[in-house]
Chain A
Amino acid sequence: MQDPIQGRADGSSPVSVHFVNNVLAAAASYIEEEPDTARDVLAELGAFLSHRLRGPRMVTTAEELEHVGVYLRLEQARFPGRLEVELPAARDLPQARIQPGEVQAPLSQAIERWLRQKPGRVRVALRARGDALDLQLDRPDEPGQAGERLRIALGVATARSTT
């Protein structure tokens, strides 16, 4: 089931209930076999939620990138061995103040949809391109197959909320 992607009145992106519940289920599954992993998953989920649930504010692209990193580690905990991740270096990021979740929300929509539709591994590459970020999803085990591309423009939510 898909969560709504429409932004809230303040322009920020809602957190997916489906995602949070599944991360908690994954954390529960690690408690006996790998208690340290369980603890890490909970700590990362705490960081994830803090970034999104703190009051309305703007964040740097570097902070948002860290948030994306946290999100991807949580997905790796849910689906061990299925995600390969490549993120840009913070110094290559465009300088901008953006809404929390402005990159993570569209990125997670694409990844969740991919994981729901296709079995096997997925390679997630996020690259800085001028004022935007390019997301590329591929199947590393089937190099011939077409992947998916998504351009995530930065500052769009900001521009919308100021007009």
Chain B
Amino acid sequence: MSSGLAILAVDDEPRALTDIKRLLETSASVERVATATSAKEALVYLSGGRYDALFLDVAMPEIEGMALARLLRRFADPPAVVFLTGHPDAAVEAFEVQALDFLVKPVTRERLESALTRVEQHVRGAEAAKSAPGGEGAEAMVTGPDVVAVDNPKGGGKRLVRLETISFAQANGDYARIVCDDGRFLLRTPLSQLEKDWGPSGFARVHRAYLVNLKHAVELRAQLNGTAVLIMRDDTEIPVARRNVAALRRRLHA
């Protein structure tokens, strides 16, 4: 990228806005930061200049962050949206309006940088799509999914699970059982669909019943009968079907 990112931060809490502005300004990937204390003010900024991303508070008077994000999706060339929230549960809704990321206040520098990296990737993807012949394949160039909404066993509702925290998914009829750092969840999606969706994010189907996050795998152990066992970070052993062993070995050694 030739120049740094232009960010518009929007929050009705003046101190929270001061904090995020300062953090953004001290990041090497950011060129300029504008701030607005309401969605209305944000729209004025957006009509007057080009921003790569909005860092948007979820709960604001009059027009809430979520409503502004929905409105932005009608723009021809909308800026990326990163939500800021005081409440982790708000993330589920953020996911539904296709936000690039969600940050829980107060934000650590590390977490902010990872959000900015995604904004950069998003901007690069959009630029590449624009210059490519046809130009319409933008979606595929832009970041793939990195969170998935699962049923929350505690108290109903949904909760978000980051793909990177998932160790593997196990087929369970039309459902998939997700095993991740935070526990186990059931997802109403067949494994074949998850394989398509998560393949680009580093997941591999090693067995009819198992889709594995290869970043969580530590060892491939061959068995005498030609199959293999994949050992995960947490010592879980995942069976690898005979016909998948060779391809998996190549992929892990690559």
Contact = CB atoms under 8 A, between A and B. Distances in A.
B14 A21 contact: no
A24 B15 contact: no
Given A26-B16, A78-B15, A80-B14, A21 B61 contact: no
A19 to B, nearest CB: 7
Interface string A90-104: 000000000000000
A80 B105 CA distance: 18
B194 interface: no
Interface string A1-27: 101000000000000011101101111
Contact of B87 (A1, A32, A77, A79): A1
A28 B22 CA distance: 10
A26 B18 CA distance: 8
B124 to A, nearest CB: 30
Given A77-B15, A116-B59, A21 B105 contact: yes
A32 B15 CA distance: 12
A78 B19 CA distance: 11
A22 B88 contact: no
Contact of B19 (A19, A26, A117): A26
B104 interface: yes
Contacts, number: 72
Contacts of A32: 22
Contact of B86 (A18, A27, A33): A18
Interface in B58-107: 58-62, 85-90, 104-107
A119 B38 contact: yes
Given A28-B106, A77-B15, A17 B88 contact: yes
Contact of B15 (A29, A117, A118): A29
A32 B26 CA distance: 13
B181 interface: no
18 contacts: A1-B90, A3-B87, A17-B86, A18-B85, A19-B86, A21-B104, A22-B16, A25-B20, A25-B107, A28-B19, A28-B106, A29-B17, A77-B15, A78-B15, A115-B61, A116-B61, A119-B38, A119-B61
Contacts of A26: 13, 15-16, 19
Q: Which residue, of A22, A26, A27, A79, has the highest number of chain B Cβ atoms within 10 A? A: A22
A29 B18 contact: yes
Contacts of B12: 119
A29 B22 contact: yes
